[in-house]
Structures are given as C-alpha cells and as structure tokens.
Structure 1
Amino acid sequence: MLTDTASVGVLVVDDHAVVRRGVTAYLDVLDDVTVVGEAGDGREALDRLEALAVLGSPLPRVVLMDLMMPVMDGVEATAEIARRHPEVKVVILTSFGEIERVNAALENGAAGYLLKDAGPAEVAEAIRAAVRDEVFLDAAVARRLAQQMRAPQSGLAVLTVREREVLALVAEGRSNREIAAELVISERTARTHVSNLLGKLGLRSRTQAVLLAIKEGLVKPAG
C-alpha cells in the first residue's frame, strides 16, 4: 500500500464496457486506489482530463489505457497526455498480439504495461509502481520487446561507469529516490544521470531503458 498519499486517482480507458467494469470492480476494493472515471476511447479520456484541468480539480495520477480503440487509439492518446499533462502516468493495458503498438506507446511516454488477463494484484502493483516513478512490465511482453529492440550502434559503451550503475538500478525498477539512496548521491544527481543515459542511448523513457538493459543482459525480466 502506498504511504505517500491517501488514495491514487485512476482513469480507466477501454472501448469495451465489460473490461472497464471489470477493472473498476477490483480496483474499488483497494483502500489506496480510487477510480475517478472511465472513458471509451482516447479522445474521451483527453476530454475528461481537460475538463478537470479547466475546473482546477485534481487530475488522476494514473491512466490505465487500452491500445486498440476507435476515434483515438491508445498510442496517440498516450502521446497527448504526456505532452499536455506530464504529471499523469499512463500504464498500457495490452494483449500479447499488440507488440508493435506497445513499442509506439512506450516511445510516446507510457510508464509501463500489463496484459489484459493480468490479475487484480498485478494491476494494483502497476498503478503503485507508476506513482512511485518506477516501471512495471509484463515479463512475457518484456522479453518479446527486448528481442525486437534495436540497440544503439555503440551499445552501452557510451555510458560512464556510474551511468551503467544507474541503468542497472533503473532496470530493477528503482525510483530516482531509491537510486540516490543506493548510490549515496542526491535525488537531483540521480535524476540527471537517468536523463543523461537516456540521451546517450537515444531513448525516450525509463521503460525503454529497462528493455535495453534486458536486451544487453544487465538484468533479466521478472517471471
């Protein structure tokens, strides 16, 4: 259970009402998570966020986002949320056959992903990880994505020793605060190292960094 907040607001986005209801049902039993709304496509999700912003109401801290939806799919919606509301984390709900779209969503700022057949405990942990600025990856999808990922031509050789240490900790799912504590540096310095290594490797998110670390053998996907 989270300790830094009373409740995490979550917006559930999926074009199938039965999926939304199912996710909402098992999130409703969690003391530290509150479903603040549902949306049937990416456009509706953006409209809900914009309406809250205009009213000055708190935005949900996490959006659980389907990928295959009409009007606006999850890839485009993720990019727009990252651009307009960077404080809102997007966790992708995906099926195993949507690997290419998962890649696109990660490039557009998704914080993690899990399969639609995940159990309540996994969904809850993905939400909590996103709030902690950590990465939650379904292990089976992570392996497939890591195999397909194109590593930079110079590999990890472009990184300093400290940046490699930071990358390994990022790949273990550590937040900037936890990296700072582990390496006895400030949180700001940890954040700078993460930003620098992402830039050197041509990556846009911590999630992509985890996949590269898996591909390069620094860590193994859980499960």
Structure 2
Amino acid sequence: MPRSKEQFEAMRNATREKIHSAAMRLFVRQGFGSTNVQNIADAAGISIGLLYRHYKTKDQLFHELVAYAVEGLKRHSTRFESDQSPKKVIAQFVDEVYTDLIDGEELANLLILLNQSLLAGAAADSEPYDEILRVNARLLDSTAQLIRKGQQLGEFHPGDAREMAVYFFASIQGLAEMKVLLKSSFTMPSPSILTAFLFKERE
C-alpha cells in the first residue's frame, strides 16, 4: 500500500529533526569549521545523499538552526511584553529553562549556536548577524521593562533594571556553556537560586 502525502511529510519532518539534532551537537562540540556534512549524516544515522536532499550546503543548515533559535528569542520577547505579572512571567521562564537544561541539550546547544553565529557574523557583517543583534536588543529591553514593572509593584529588588536584565541572561548563557563543557558532572542551580537576585522575599 503506497504511503499517503501525510506519511511522507511526517517522514520528512522526522528526518529533518534528526539532522537538526545531530548538526547542533556537532557544531557546538566541534565548531562549524571542523564539522562536515559526512559527520552530520553519520551522527543523524542517514546517508549523505538523504542529507543533501534536505540541505544543499552546511551553511544552509547552520543558518536554519540559527533562524530557529532567533524565533525562540522573539517568542520570549513577546511573552515579556505581555500584561501578566512580572514575577509570574519570570518564574515561568526560569522554570522552563531549568527543565530544559536538566532534561535535555537543545536549549544549551541553541544558545551556544547563537553565540557562534554572532562571532562569525561580526567578522562578515552579515544580515543574519544584524537580525540576531536586533532580537537580542529587543529581548533585553523587554526584560528590563518587566523588571522595572516588578520593582514598581514591590516584587523585585531595587537596582538598575538594564544591568539586572544583562546579568539574568548572562547567567543562563553561562549555565548553557557549563552544561556542554561539564557533561554528566554539571549541576543545574535551582530556580530559586536563579531568581534570588531579582525576587524579594515575602515579608
């Protein structure tokens, strides 16, 4: 019995997910320059011919992964710009980060991949590089605004909201890099540790 269009699409998506996962791991651990398409195909458990049916070049695959990461940053910015309680928004975000870094590698790999793209783009002055800078700036701005709102409500500690936003994301980025470097010996701090500098204790 021939496969349906939906079955073919499901198979295609499953193959792309395998490629994405394998490529992210290799780009993060070996670097973009030291990873070739054969490495990616082998790690994904597929033939190099099948990989080329999905991606013509390694660069195309890398840029798609970066675009995926950028979309994630945009979603977080939109969430931080909502009318919800600042403490609730930050607490939910930190819980998600905690779970992602405890249970898997995708978040850590995506954050490191974004950094690699920024470093490469800085030299090339590319359009993707400019977009990542714009999205990062929006995320920092929306986080700083959220922190100011939390301070006005008396839920957050006083301080420079912009500096606190930078510190917040620098902590998450650093934890992502430590997870990749330390592997099984990595210990993820609890959500309460990540928000201690920000949330006031209930009086």
CA radius of gyration, larger in = 2
Q: TM-score, normalised by structure 1?
A: 0.26
Higher relative contact order (CA 8 A, sep 6+): 2
Alignment TM-score, normalising by the size of structure 2: 0.27
Larger helix percent: 2
